[in-house]
């Protein structure tokens, strides 16, 4: 199975900060990567697919980049609604795998 | 509006069995693959199983292979997960999730709210 490693596991930031989360794959997954946001007690919400495509309705302050084995999710200016846990997910193979998550906390 | 509503989660003893259901509405159910994804309390997301649009192809995580069976009834717009030989480590919130394609192995554009399975004596 392809292992997905996210860093950092926790990130403390302030409203207005630029935030970057990294996701690394144990082997090349081309651009077959999605990002989700999850708030406490809620289901995950799709943000980004195919590494850099923004899902409809997602604010443009979210962006994704990368290919191969290294990917990033960037929030250009952190808003109060963005404090949540973020997960990457690879879909290069039928055995889908998620990263361990990055919790974005208020500084 | 797409809706996925899971049910069937309960407290069950180790070694026991359980069947989860997911009722889908708001989209053409038999046009899409479907998944089960779980989340242990306080932990991250773990993909469990995938079924193609017609039920012809199924895939499982190694952690559940041979114990869990995914199925669907397109006439009832419903997805199922039969869980046998349950273990404490199967304790989790189980989400039903819609794939963006027919054959699956892509990403999830809609999720249910989950049903809690607790395996404990």
Per-residue tens of pLDDT for chain A, all 107 residues: 899 999 999 999 999 999 999 999 999 999 999 999 999 999 999 999 999 999 999 999 999 999 999 999 999 999 999 999 999 999 998 889 999 999 999 88
pLDDT of residue A88: 98
Q: Structural domain of residue A19, as residue ranges?
A: 4-106
Q: Give yes or no for residue B101 having a pLDDT over 90.
A: no
* Closest residue by Cα to residue A42 from B90, B114, B23, B40: B114
Burial (Cβ within 10 Å: 0-12, 13-18, ≥19) of residue B117: buried
Is the separation of the CB atoms in A97 and A90 below 8 Å?
yes
Comparing C-alpha atoms, which of A31, A28, A55 is closest to residue A44? A55
Using a CB-CB distance cutoff of 8 angstroms, which residues of chain A are in contact with residue B47?
89, 95-98
**Arithmetic mean of pLDDT over chain B:** 96
**Interchain CB contact of A94 with B (< 8 Å):** yes
pLDDT value at residue A93:
87
A30 and B CB contact within 8 Å: no
pLDDT at B37: 98
CB atoms within 10 A of CB B70: 21
Length of chain A: 107
Q: How far apart are CA A43 and CA B87, in angstroms?
A: 24
The number of domains in chain A is 1
Per-residue model confidence (pLDDT) at position B105: 75
Residue A33 belongs to domain with CATH number: 2.60.40.10
User: Does the pLDDT value for residue B33 go beyond 80?
Assistant: yes
How far, in Å, are A13, A15, A38, A50 from residue A64 at the CA level? 19, 20, 17, 9
Chain A residue with Cα closest to B44: A100
Residue with tokens 């208020």, as numbered in its chain: A106
Q: What's the gap in Å between the CA of B83 and the closest CA on chain A? A: 19
The answer to whether residues B12 and B119 touch, using CB atoms and an 8 Å cutoff, is yes
pLDDT digits (tens, 9 = 90+) for B71-93: 999 999 999 999 999 999 999 99
CB within 8 Å: A34 and B107: yes
């Amino acid at each position: 199975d392809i292992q997905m490693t996210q860093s950092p596991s926790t990130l403390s930031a302030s409203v207005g900060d630029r935030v970057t989360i990294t996701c690394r794959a144990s082997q090349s997954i081309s651009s077959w990567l999605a990002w989700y946001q999850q708030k406490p007690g809620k289901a995950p919400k799709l943000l980004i697919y195919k590494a850099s495509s923004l899902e409809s309705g997602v604010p443009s302050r979210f962006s994704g980049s990368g290919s191969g084995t290294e990917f990033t999710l960037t929030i250009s200016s952190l808003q109060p609604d963005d404090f949540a846990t973020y997960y990457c997910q690879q879909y290069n193979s039928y055995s889908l795998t998620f990263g361990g998550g990055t919790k974005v906390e208020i500084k | 509006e797409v809706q996925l509503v899971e049910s069937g989660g309960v407290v069950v003893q180790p070694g026991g069995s359980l069947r989860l259901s997911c009722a889908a509405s708001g989209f053409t159910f038999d046009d899409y693959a479907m998944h089960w994804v779980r989340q242990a309390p306080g932990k991250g997301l773990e993909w469990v199983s995938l079924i193609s649009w017609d039920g012809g192809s199924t895939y499982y995580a190694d952690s559940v292979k041979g114990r869990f069976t995914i199925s669907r009834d397109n006439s009832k717009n419903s997805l199922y997960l039969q869980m046998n030989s349950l273990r404490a480590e199967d304790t989790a919130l189980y989400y039903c999730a819609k794939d963006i394609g027919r054959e699956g192995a892509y990403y999830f554009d809609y999720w249910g709210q989950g049903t809690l399975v607790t395996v404990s004596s």
